Structure formats: C-alpha cells, structure tokens
C-alpha cells in the first residue's frame, strides 16, 4: 500500500509540466481617446524568457485587438497589421508610439485618463502552445 502511494506520487511529479516560459510585461498604457473615437493605441515593454511570439489579444473595451506596426514612409505615416510580433529570449521589445503597438479596434466607449484597461495578450512559445497574459494598462494622454 505504502509502496503504491509512493509510486503514484512519483508518477504525478514526473507527469507535471515543466515551468512554462513566460513574458514579463512592463509599463503598459493606452492612449486616452476623444469622445466618438473608435480606435486606441496600446503600448508596453515585453521581455520573454524564451523565444516566443505575440500573436494577438482581446479586451472588453473594444470589439477586437490587433497587432500593428507604424512608420514614416516618405513623410507619410504608414500603419499595417502584423500577424505576430517576435519576442526573442531576454530581449526587451518595446511597443511604443511610432513603432509596434496593439490597436483596440471598435471602442465601446471613451478611454479616459486614470482608467485601467484590461488586456489579455496571447503569446506562443517554441512548443507552439498558446498562453494568455492578463495585463492592466493605465490610460494616459
């Protein structure tokens, strides 16, 4: 009986998954919007502890959340949607105005300074498994 219990415990330990790779999220913020504005940009610093990719997100404040890249091209602001944003191991990737960002599309209301914006980021590790990261972004002007 004792032996069986020990065997089972050992089996449970061996079967338990390894500590998952994760992504540190720092300084997450969303730009405050004007009344009637339908989109908002979200920014943050992301540091993964393994090679991972950011593949999307969701938020209760908008219909959808897209990954975007913005740059100036011949004096014209160009913004395009990205399928994913690479998060190389131990390298801090900045989502910042004028570069990568998340875009809240189809805002359900005005985003006001001081408001906390819940954001769920979806990241994928080398094993292809998706993980959800819960972020509370602050709103700034």
In the complex, the residues that contact Cu ion under the rule CB under 5 A are 68, 79, 103
**Which of 77-113 are b and which e, b meaning 16 or more Cβ less than 10 Å from the residue's Cβ?**
eeeeebeebebeeeeebebeeeebbbbbbebeeebee
Task: CB nearer to Cu ion: give 69 or 120.
Answer: 69
CB of 127 to Cu ion, least distance (A): 30
Beta-carbon contacts of 21 under 8 Å, excluding residues fewer than 6 positions away, are: 48, 49, 50, 52, 125, 126, 131
Task: CB nearer to Cu ion: give 67 or 125.
Answer: 67
- Our measurement of the distance from residue 137's CA atom to the centroid of its chain's CA atoms, rounded to an integer in Å, reads 11
Task: CB nearer to Cu ion: give 21 or 40.
Answer: 40
CB of 67 to Cu ion, least distance (A): 9
CB of 87 to Cu ion, least distance (A): 19
C-beta of residue 45 within 8 angstroms of C-beta of residue 104: no
Task: CB nearer to Cu ion: give 50 or 122.
Answer: 122
β-strand pairing of 39-48 with 130-140: unpaired
CB of 138 to Cu ion, least distance (A): 19
């Amino acid at each position: 009986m004792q032996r069986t219990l020990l065997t089972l415990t050992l089996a449970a330990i061996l079967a338990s998954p390894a500590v998952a790779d994760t992504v540190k999220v720092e300084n997450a913020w969303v730009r405050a919007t004007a009344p009637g504005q339908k989109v908002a940009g979200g920014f943050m610093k992301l540091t993964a502890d393994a090679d991972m990719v950011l593949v999307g997100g969701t938020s209760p404040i908008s219909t959808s959340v897209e990954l975007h890249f913005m740059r100036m091209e011949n004096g014209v602001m160009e913004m395009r949607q990205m399928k994913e944003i690479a998060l190389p191991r131990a390298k801090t990737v900045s989502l910042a105005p004028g570069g990568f960002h998340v875009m809240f599309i189809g805002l359900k209301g005005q985003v006001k300074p001081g408001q906390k914006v819940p954001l769920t980021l979806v990241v994928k590790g080398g094993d292809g498994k998706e993980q959800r990261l819960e972020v509370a972004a602050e709103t700034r002007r």
